[in-house]
Amino acid sequence: MSRKYKITRVEITGATPYLGHDRNGAPIRTKDPEQVMAWLCGAWRFRFNQHRSNRCRYLIGTTGSTGLLEPIGSMDRRSNADTRHDHDWIGAVPDLILTSTWMMERKEWAAAVERRRTNREHGRKPGRMPGFKRLRQGRRFTCMSNRGKGYRVVKYSRKHAEAIIGGTDPRGWRDDGARYQIHIHFRLSRPVPESTSIHVDWTHRTISFTAPIEPHHHQPTGAMVGVDVGVVHEAALSDGRLLDLPGKRLRHIENRINGLQRAQARCVRESPYDNTRDYLRKGPSNRYLRLRKQINRLNACKTRIITDWQHKTSRRLVDDHDLIVMEALQPANMSRKPRPQADPDRPDHWLPNGRNAKRALNRGMREASLGRFRTMVEYKSHAAGITFLAVNPAYTSQTCHKCGHVAAENRESQAVFHCHACHWEGNADVNAAINILDKGLRLNDPSGRDTSETRNRSVGPCGGQTDRTAAPSRRGAIIMPGGSRQ
């Protein structure tokens, strides 16, 4: 769990930090916040890349006929003291900032190795291993807490607080003292948690506090719900509710982005280059770069709106229910491009394959972030101690929850479901959500864990409606309506 705050200003107190030497060999000592923060970000990136320098080696052909590149090598073994001795410009960097690079590099590399293994097991592309941190990726650094030795937080008022990071100048460069302090003032929009580390993003002027997920006290309600996620409706619940993203705000931002992109296209047309690739290779205009920054800000704003909605909606779902069942979708497989279809009658010609329609659907799926929404519901369910199940989504959109009839013709359109056997008619997404809940209730695993067995278990087409008056708790008991246990 992390909480992000906006940095308002930075000030340096105590001794003047030693930032190294310039090209002429003169020492650089300054209390300018911009230079000091850029120096910390550069030192953190340098030390991180130093750890990774021995990682980026590969061995070919160790996985049989596939010939995949297998990462080998280990981390750089130089200590912080050795690095300070070899590069005096990071001699005054706080030790816990340099130590955080060791921890983050190991976690990032181990996660990438595990991700590649999982992708290979499921027949997907393994993906790349992470590389070096680059300046264009943003200026940022991390500082570990280590029980308050790395930094401390001071609250001044309801909306004002600061994080204080202490450092020491190396011997020989202590003209006005040895110790200095960096005061990072930020706007206190909500309480600061007991954190284990802080992440400073100097590019966007934000500071984030990382803390373990706190156990959430859940009041039993006895309610159960099946959730069907999609593009038109972000979530459809088995009780008939349809939960949608704030479409009006998102459409307004999308219209602004489209206007800026048209202005970018005019910049390319008015240039002497034939295409955008040559235009960018030779150097875009200042107007083009300004438009790109505005587009990036609007895209980031749109992402924040969607993420905020998903956090709030997932919290309400967890607070209001004791059992949540969702489909184990694979968004990466669902958003693949359609394969080209060759025309057998005309060589070097292709048949229509619905690529334009699929492109719009893929864009909507990426914007909806269905996998992220499910992850939010899952980890919040585990933190609250309620049951979360993920079931095979096969046939949930073609099965009538009343009689169990399965046919592709039952779904007349995206929104309308009409059973050809019992003639029940209603919303197709709500019908799918009810089938998802029925599948979850028939599972014998009450642990709530999204294991591979649960995710890949083939339960076949849904049958008739299952009794949904009781939900299995995490202890195997039955929670009856009203919160009583049996």
CA–CA gap between residue 186 and residue 5 (Å, rounded): 6
The secondary structure element, H or E, covering residue 99 is: helix 95-121
Token digits of residue 67 = 């010939």
- CA distances to 374, 377, 459 from 451, in Å: 14, 15, 15
- Nearest alpha carbon to residue 133 among 43, 36, 17, 234: 43
Place of tokens 């005054």: 92
Contact 135/43 with Cβ under 8 angstroms?
A: no
Exposed e or buried b for every residue in 129-157, given b needs 16+ CB within 10 A?
Answer: beeebeeeeebbbbbbbeeeebbebeeee
CA–CA gap between residue 271 and residue 287 (Å, rounded): 12
Token digits of residue 260 = 């800026």
Secondary structure of 243-300 as H, E, C letters:
ECCCHHHHHHHHHHHHHHHHHHHHHHHCCCCCCHHHHHHHCCCHHHHHHHHHHHHHHH
Token digits of residue 144 = 């570990």
CA–CA gap between residue 425 and residue 300 (Å, rounded): 40
CA–CA gap between residue 318 and residue 316 (Å, rounded): 5
User: Beta-carbon neighbour count of residue 96 at 10 Å?
Assistant: 20
Q: What backbone torsions phi and psi does residue 299 show, to the nearest 5 degrees?
A: -65, -40
Dihedral over Cα of 346, 349, 350, 356: its sign: negative
Q: Which residues are catalytic, by number?
A: 228, 327, 429
User: Beta-carbon neighbour count of residue 373 at 10 Å?
Assistant: 24
User: For the chain, what's the residue count?
Assistant: 486
Contact 161/151 with Cβ under 8 angstroms?
A: no
Contact 298/253 with Cβ under 8 angstroms?
A: yes
Provide the 3-class DSSP secondary structure of residue 216: coil
